[in-house]
Chains A and B, each alone.
Chain A
Amino acid sequence: MALLHDARYRALFYQGLTICIIGLIAWSMFATASHNLERQDIATGFSYLSRQAGFVISETTIAYQPTDSVSRALLVGLANTIKVSVLAAFFGTVLGLLVGIGRMSRNPLLQRLMLLYVEALRNVPLLLYLLFWYAVIINVLPPVRAALPVLPHVYLSNSGLAIPSVEFVRGLAPTVAALAIGLVGAFLIRRLSLHRRLTTGKPNHGTLLALLAIAAPIVLLIVLDGISLKFDLPEQGRFRLTGGMQVKPEFVALLFGLTLSVSATVAEIVRAGIQAVDRGQWEAATALGLPRRRTMRLVILPQALRLIIPPLTNTYLTVFKNSSLAIAIGYPDLVMVSNTVMNQTGQAMETIAIFMGAYLGLSIAISLFMNWYNTRVALKER
């Protein structure tokens, strides 16, 4: 008993006890589960992944046939999840920036309008919005033969959105290569110009040259006739739309709902970040004669970004996880495909483990990337 009064041994004892208790719980759960699985005659193991999936997926980002394997089906679901979250994060950020700037406007009308927008989105469950937009698309929008022209060659109807499609007849690989070369070149030029500016103090045209470097390889490729594209525009016929790409109503509703929800969050983050920058910074910049826009770009935003990046990371993680609500309106994301797999094979444990693992892995990847970016913009203190 004397040992227990020694802080070191006590620490070891408590930790040992914790491991024992958790181990015991895990073991008993495992034993019960395997007994139950045996009793209910449910197969275990991951061999079902290579079996034929046998079900149709209504929207596929990567090629898929019902004859493909279960793992391929899950991969299609993951690709759909990533597609919709990346698009929603991108559009939501752009929209959110605009709304956030509007929230800070001196114009009282615009400010109130943006406040209304943000509050209406933040105080109503996202799931309700998704169901609402889906219902609006299905019930309120006209049938496809009377599709609404939103923009030239973009039509909205209750069977989704018809947009022009672009297809590479020839030159997909060279385009990707040219883009990569351009980006690497631009990156190098930018670093060089920054270095020159820091060492010599002379302004130069680094940004302009970098932009040129991105454009040049592609322009060269086009001039040399390396690319041939096939455009397909949706046309309104008498009874239906022909050509172009049809985007399913489920995807439109999901993307729309997620984008709006991201934009409201981003707007608040941006506003809070910019307002948190000390007023003295504005005044100092004005005293130096910097115009408002350059003050914003060179003085305020770099400081605000430090406050903006961490909550922005959370927002991106949230949109990625929230895309799982797709199951409520029937967009085949990772969760919905997994659900189908579970119902067909009965192997719930393995399937849940797979999709939770996928979410976990990507969440960690996103937060690692944003943390890396965050340390780059963070205040360097000595």
Chain B
Amino acid sequence: MTEIQLVLGASTPSRLPPPRRHALWRDLFGTPGNALVTVLSAVAIMAIGWFAIRWLFLEATFSGRPEDCKVATGACWPFLTSKLRYMAFGFYPYEEQWRPMLALLGFFCAAIVSMVPRLWSMRLLLVWLVGILPVLYILMAGGVFGLPSVPKTQWGGLPLSFMLSFVGLACALPLGILLALSRASELPVIRVLATSFIEIVRGVPLISILFMATVMLPLFMPEGVTVDKLLRAQVAIIIFAAAYIAEIVRGGLQDVPKGQIEAGASLGLGYWPIMFKIVLPQAIKKVIPPLVSLFIGFFQDTTLVTIVGLLDFLDTVRSAMRDPVWQGIAVLEGYVFAAAVYFAFSALMGAYSRFLERYFRTTHD
């Protein structure tokens, strides 16, 4: 009796998983090396945290004039509060700034609603094209409905950054899909043209395309026709985005089984119906998560337009820092603020991309 009981007593608990606490303890201090890593990491985390708290709050200046910031070692909050509107909207007329503010809010609301995969439909696309985008544009540009007209040269800051990346991607998407189809085409001339376009654009930096658009585009325009700077940069971003989208869509096209095309052909469908009704819907669905990741990249890449002299968000922040009153005082503050804004939007979209990946893994419709 006692023997059996002993065996039972010894074997039963070992079937249970080890307590969670012990696993954590082993991961943190299991070996001397691990313990050293833990201590070093803890020190690093505490040092970063302590520095952040001290800089942001304890030694920061919360109110006062630029001179007060100069003596303090921490962050300069008055700089941020007094320059916030300029950094957000640039040289947009001060009393009209409710318009870009409203446009941004409207854009965010519309974007958040459109992020729900269940609402995706042709009708939603139509709502964007004939409803949301024209309203946003009218809000920004004015000239009708009693809104004073604001020329594009005065646009700047966050609305400009969002416009460049969002409109850029929206226009580049159909172009990219067309390029991807051309690259997969059986017609050699079209294939070679599309392939060389994609490879050339992907082989050079975005800056060089921006330069080409700003410096060379006017040369190709007939006498008297001028294209404003914003549109030139937008064209460059569209060209650049289209080539990258084409490569992502190509991956999706290659993932669609050949049998799908053959089945379509055997039903007597032509090339375009097969592509638009059978292949593309399947291909695009597969590549939506990488497309969202690509969008994060383009949102960050729009910062490069400051190099060709456009006032995007990064540039308004920089010029706020160069204001003679604040010059040399709020150097870190401006960059940290800009970084925080970019980080927030990029991290949000990154989380959305991960959500989409999970969503498409579990749904089959």
Task: Decide whether A and B are members of one complex.
Answer: yes
Q: With A and B bound together, what is the CA distance between A19 and B343 in angstroms?
A: 45
For residue A140, which residues in chain B have a CB less than 8 angstroms away from its CB?
A: 331-332
B343 touches A352 (CB 8 A): no
Interface string of A295-321 (1 = CB under 8 A from B): 000000000000000000000010001
Residues of B within 8 A of A339 (CB): 211
Interface size on B, residues (CB 8 A): 55
A181 to B100 Cα, complex, angstroms: 67
B28: which A residues are within 8 A, CB to CB?
107-109
Which one of A32-40, A71-79, A234-242, A248-256 contacts B? A32-40
A125, A135, A359: which contacts B203 (Cβ < 8 A)? A359
Q: Which residues of chain B have C-beta atoms less than 8 A from A37's C-beta?
A: 219
Residues of B within 8 A of A328 (CB): 306-307
Instruction: Answer whether residue A275 sits at the interface, using C-beta atoms and an 8 A cutoff.
Output: no
Name the residue on B nearest A318 (C-beta). B205
Find B347's partner among A106, A110, A123, A349 (CB 8 Å cutoff): A123
Q: Which of B40-48, B63-71, B114-122, B169-177 contacts A (4 or more CB under 8 A)?
A: B40-48
Cα distance A356–B240 when bound, in Å?
A: 14
- The stretch among A89-97, A126-134, A154-162, A164-172 that forms the contact with chain B is A126-134
* Chain B CB within 8 A of A184 CB: no
A360 in contact (CB, < 8 A) = yes
B325 to chain A, nearest CB (A): 17
- A112 / chain B contacts, CB cutoff of 8 Å: 45
Interfacial residues of chain B within 324-341, with CB under 8 A of chain A in the complex: 328, 331-332, 335, 338-339
Interface of B is mostly: helix
A335 to B210 Cα, complex, angstroms: 12
Choice from B44, B200, B212, B222 contacting A32 with Cβ under 8 Å: B222
| Pairwise interchain contact A325-B207, C-beta atoms closer than 8 A | yes
Is B215 an interface position by the 8 A CB rule?
yes
Q: Tell me whether A123 and B204 are in contact (CB under 8 A).
A: no
Max chain A C-beta neighbours (<10 A), residue from B200, B204, B314, B343: B204
Q: List 30 A-B contacts (CB under 8 A).
A: A11-B186, A14-B187, A15-B188, A32-B221, A36-B221, A36-B223, A108-B27, A109-B37, A109-B41, A109-B45, A110-B37, A123-B296, A124-B300, A125-B301, A127-B304, A128-B303, A131-B318, A136-B332, A322-B205, A327-B207, A335-B205, A348-B219, A352-B212, A352-B215, A356-B200, A359-B204, A360-B200, A360-B203, A360-B204, A364-B203
Give the interface of A toward B (CB within 8 A). Answer: 11, 14-15, 18-19, 22, 29, 32-33, 35-37, 39, 105-110, 112-113, 119-120, 122-129, 131-132, 135-136, 139-140, 317, 321-322, 324-325, 327-328, 335, 339, 342, 348-349, 352, 355-356, 359-360, 363-364
